[in-house]
Amino acid sequence: MPPETIRFTLDGRAAAITAEPTEPLAHALREHCGAQGVRVACSRAVCGACTVLVDGLPAASCAMFLWQVEGCAVETVARLKAHPLQEAFARHGAFQCGYCTGGFLMLAKALLAENPSPSRAEIAEYLSSNICRCTGYSVIIEAVEEAAAAMRAPA
Amino acid sequence: MFRAAHGLIATTVNTAPRAALCRACDVAEAVAALAQPGAAAVAGGTDLCAGFNAGLTPSLLVDLSRLEVLRGIEITTEDIRIGALVTHAQGSRDQGLRAALPGFAAAWGMLANPRIRHRATIGGNIMARHTRYEMSLLLTALGARLVFAEGEQTPAQVWNAAPGLLTHIVIPRHAGQRFIYMRGLRPQLTLAVHRHAGGGLAAIGTEWLHPVALALADAGLEELPETFADHVISRWYARRAGAALLARGMEALDAA
Ligand SMILES: Cc1cc2nc3c(=O)[nH]c(=O)nc-3n(C[C@H](O)[C@H](O)[C@H](O)COP(=O)(O)OP(=O)(O)OC[C@H]3O[C@@H](n4cnc5c(N)ncnc54)[C@H](O)[C@@H]3O)c2cc1C
């Protein structure tokens, strides 16, 4: 397959990747855009480490092709610098090795966009598709609860 | 940039085969492309990409995303017509569907998880032809028809043959139609109940077996085929647990 130039926005900036359009999105983001916050573990959409937002909706970037984001807005964890979620995760120690953290943060961002006041059960249910093998999930859920409260608070 | 030598890292980083890409602009182009040897349709891509790890190596990927006729849900007094590209998130939240057949919309919303639901489609769920995917079971209970560019099939027929392009799913409407999906024992066993003024059907399935349609009157699941057993559950267990789920489902529909 000859390379093509696929244009989209990445973390708010115009991006263009010239590559085989059938490359997996996660691979393309890491290799061509240096988006190392996109982690690949299972490569079958099961673990959630590669979660990005595509036009605001969560997606497993290991199970998408590069061509599928043509003209879309792609967001990775790099977008969350100094975001209440990032700060809450740090405060709660909601990571150990950190491999899964980017995926959790992006999924949590999608949840709070959809539901700014989720209950603890709703957070657990929404995040249950992502896997963490060291921290345990309680601190992650607590961090999301705290970030949600911070984001609801008047500026 | 440091790159590990080939073979030092798992092939999980880029598992995509070197495939050509056809961005089909209309149904005829998609059908022609899918007729080529080694061609595979791409709807959400969520199952297909996982298939690459399992050794799937299509030589041509046929992108369906430009086929607008495969999108949307149309509801008439006769039937509910769902485009093959409708995602789980879109379908389960569709206001018309929620009004017409709320139990089915609710069941659709239970499939997979938020990362998958926004991309994965009803057509991909059926055509992946994995017994662990649940849409085929739901549609079996509903007596749905699968409309391919090449003709119609039932959900059961699709397990045995792989026709080309699935365009729509048609669910017949009935007076007093109600639906409930009992998923609490998944993956061992799930059961859907569909009841209406003229009758109805239940469907039972497991992670490993093709769904089977059952008469609602068969309270003890006596008609369950002798072969309905897998390496997790026996037929005896399927009958016991299935009968309990059927009774509970009927009760819930009475109460609704
Ligand atoms: C982590 C994970 C968890 C999941 N959990 C569940 C679950 O709990 N319950 C459940 O039911 N499902 C589950 N699924 C399956 C999911 O719901 C999707 O429906 C499925 O992955 C395929 O949808 P897709 O649109 O991405 O299809 P694709 O991956 O694009 O395609 C799947 C297959 O269907 C073919 N195909 C797609 N569309 C058409 C068409 N219109 N005509 C002809 N062929 C076509 C493709 O060629 C391919 O062979 C899960 C999937 C994943 C990855």
* B68-104: pLDDT as tens digits: 999 999 999 999 999 999 999 999 999 999 999 999 9
Helix (H, G, I), strand (E, B) or coil at B168: strand
CATH superfamily, with its number, for domain A4-78? Beta-grasp domain (3.10.20.30)
Q: Which CATH class is domain A81-152?
A: mainly alpha
CA distance B45 to chain A (A): 6
Domains of chain B: 3-62 (no CATH), 70-255 (3.30.465.10)
* Residue (of A131, A129, A148) closest to A87 by Cα position: A148
pLDDT of B3 = 45
C-alpha distance from A5 to closest chain B C-alpha (Å): 14
Comparing CA positions, the residue from A55, A50, A56, A53 lying closest to residue A72 is A55
Concatenate the DSSP letters of all residues of A91-154 into one string.
Answer: HHT--SS-TTHHHHHHHHHHHHHH-SS--HHHHHHHHTTS--SSS-SHHHHHHHHHHHHHHHS-
Mutate to test the pocket of ligand 1, among B122, B125, B146, B167 (most ligand atoms within 8 A of CB): B125
Q: Hey, what are A68's tokens?
A: 């599928």
Read off the pLDDT of residues A26-41 as tens digits, 9 standing for 90 and up.
999 999 999 999 999 8
Percentage of chain B exceeding pLDDT 70 = 94
ipTM above 0.85, yes or no: yes
Q: In what order do the strands lie in the sheet with B166-172?
A: B73-75, B79-83, B166-172, B145-148, B151-153
DSSP secondary structure, A52-90, as one string: EEETTEEEEGGGSBGGGGTT-EEE-GGGGTT-HHHHHHH
B45 in contact with ligand 1, CB cutoff 6 A: yes
Our CA-based measurement puts residue A23 at a distance from the nearest CA of chain B, in whole angstroms, of 6
B104: enclosing H helix or E strand: helix B102-108
Whether residues B18 and A1 touch (CB distance < 8 A) is answered with yes
Given a cut of 50, is residue B10 above it in pLDDT? no
pLDDT digits (tens, 9 = 90+) for A46-102: 999 999 999 999 999 999 999 999 999 999 999 999 999 999 999 999 999 999 999
Predicted pLDDT at B15 = 65
Q: Which residue of A has its CA nearest to B44?
A: A64
Read off the tokens for A97: 């090795």
**Contact in structure between B22 and B35 (CB atoms under 8 Å):** no
Residue B157 in tokens: 């027929």
Q: Confirm or reject: Cβ of B41 under 6 Å from ligand 1.
A: yes
Q: Which residues of A touch B119 (CB under 8 A)?
A: 54, 57, 59-60, 63-64
Note whether A4-78 and A81-152 share their fold: no
B165 CB within 6 A, ligand 1: yes
User: Between A27, A43, A107, which is nearest B115 by CB?
Assistant: A107
- Distance from the alpha carbon of residue B111 to the mean position of ligand 1, in angstroms: 11
Residue boundaries of the structural domains of chain A: 4-78, 81-152
- In one-letter notation, the amino acid at residue B244 is A
Give me ligand 1 centre to Cα B125, in Å: 4
3-state SS, residue B211:
coil
pLDDT band for position B160 (cuts 50, 70, 90): confident
C-beta B139 within 6 A of ligand 1: no
Q: What is the pLDDT of residue B13?
A: 53
Closest by alpha carbon to B195, among B214, B218, B178, B210?
B178
Distances (CA, A) of B165 to A21, A76, B32, B125, B223: 22, 34, 10, 13, 34
Phi, psi torsion values for B208, nearest 5 degrees: -115, -10
Q: pLDDT digit string (tens) for B178-204?
A: 999 999 999 999 999 999 999 999 999
